[in-house]
């Protein structure tokens, strides 16, 4: 326990040091905004200018109270037809932004370009969603990457957001609360049914970490909800009392770019 606490302390110090160095480099050697190309001035944690961050799109329509997808028509209990017919394992799913424009670009910087400090920026926005939950979470768990993809990327973008979010909420963080029991094919380009098949029995929850806990599951993008459904089911099978989902962005399924989400 002490050794794990010391490792966690060293990691936090290293992350804080890395962010300070990045801010000093930006102050001494101004670089262009990674989104619009305008020169950045002053010490900044993010290589993105204020105007670009200010243009982050918002979710335009109220969605299903369970899965969060936009409702095509009014519903008596506030749920979409899919959730009424086949309720997901999670109690609710909320997102900070639609997966387009600046939000999509910020996720790509975090996910594919190694700009890890953006995880803290997203964590701030995810923290604003939590007070709407009927019960506060006790444990924050990220959706895990497969071993191969984790080795290729060097980090789990959902884990980077989840760790910072847990710190903001004052919750315990369980990076190993959920794991992939097998490698899965990328979700990109798969339709909803194929995504469900791809993730069938892909996750397993760690009973000794999640049993008896209200879990907040964190991921980067929610598209059809297949990942969230499979992950939440595994957590409940391991004894979690309740699972709520928060993601940085939500793909709008009627847009062409929706299929790009993980």
What is the chain's pLDDT, residue by residue, as a tens digit (262 residues)? Answer: 545 555 555 666 666 665 566 555 555 556 788 899 888 875 567 889 889 998 888 776 668 889 988 877 767 788 988 899 899 999 999 999 999 999 999 999 999 999 999 999 999 999 999 999 989 999 999 999 988 888 888 999 999 999 999 999 999 999 999 998 876 656 565 556 666 666 667 899 999 999 999 999 999 999 888 899 999 999 999 999 999 999 999 987 654 344 444 4
Residue 187's pLDDT is 58
Residue 259's pLDDT is 40
Residue 40's pLDDT is 80
Residue 255's pLDDT is 46
Q: Which residues pair with 194 in a beta bridge?
A: none
What is the C-alpha to C-alpha distance for residues 47 and 22, in angstroms, rounded to an integer?
A: 9
pTM for the model stands at 0.82
Q: Which residues pair with 216 in a beta bridge?
A: 140, 244
Residue 150's pLDDT is 87
Nearest to 162 by CA among 222, 80, 219, 236: 219
Which residue is it, tokens 């804080």? 16
Residue 253's pLDDT is 63
Instruction: List helix spans (H) across the chain.
Output: 2-28, 50-54, 81-85, 101-112, 118-127, 147-153, 157-169, 192-199, 207-210, 226-237
**3-class secondary structure, 74:** coil
Quote the DSSP letter at residue 256: G
Q: How many CA atoms lie within 13 A of 10 on its CB side?
A: 6
Residue 97's pLDDT is 94
Which residue is it, tokens 């380009």? 189
List of residues 6+ apart from 56 with CB closer than 8 A: 97, 101, 102, 103, 106
């Amino acid at each position: 326990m002490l050794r794990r606490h010391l490792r966690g302390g060293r990691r936090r110090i290293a992350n804080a040091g890395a962010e300070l160095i990045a801010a000093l480099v930006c102050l001494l050697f101004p670089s262009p905004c990674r989104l619009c190309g305008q020169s950045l001035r002053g010490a900044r944690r993010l290589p993105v200018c204020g105007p670009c961050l200010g243009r982050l799109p918002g979710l335009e329509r109220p969605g299903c109270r369970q899965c969060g997808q936009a409702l095509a028509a009014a519903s008596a209990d506030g749920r979409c037809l899919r959730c009424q017919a086949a309720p997901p394992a999670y109690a609710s799913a909320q997102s900070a932004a639609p997966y387009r424009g600046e939000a999509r670009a910020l996720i790509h910087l975090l996910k594919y370009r190694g700009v890890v400090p953006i995880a803290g920026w997203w964590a701030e926005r995810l923290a604003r969603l939590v007070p709407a939950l009927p019960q506060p979470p006790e444990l924050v768990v990220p959706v895990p990457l497969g071993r191969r993809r984790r080795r290729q990327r060097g980090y789990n973008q959902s884990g980077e957001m989840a760790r910072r979010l847990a710190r903001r909420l004052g919750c315990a963080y369980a990076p190993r609360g959920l794991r992939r029991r097998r490698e899965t094919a990328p979700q990109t380009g798969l339709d909803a049914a194929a995504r469900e098949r791809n993730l069938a029995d892909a996750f397993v929850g760690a009973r000794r970490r999640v049993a008896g806990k209200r879990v907040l599951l964190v991921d980067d993008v929610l598209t059809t909800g297949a990942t969230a459904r499979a992950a939440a089911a595994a957590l409940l099978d391991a004894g979690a009392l309740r699972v709520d989902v928060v993601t940085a962005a939500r793909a709008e399924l009627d847009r062409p770019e929706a299929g790009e989400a993980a």
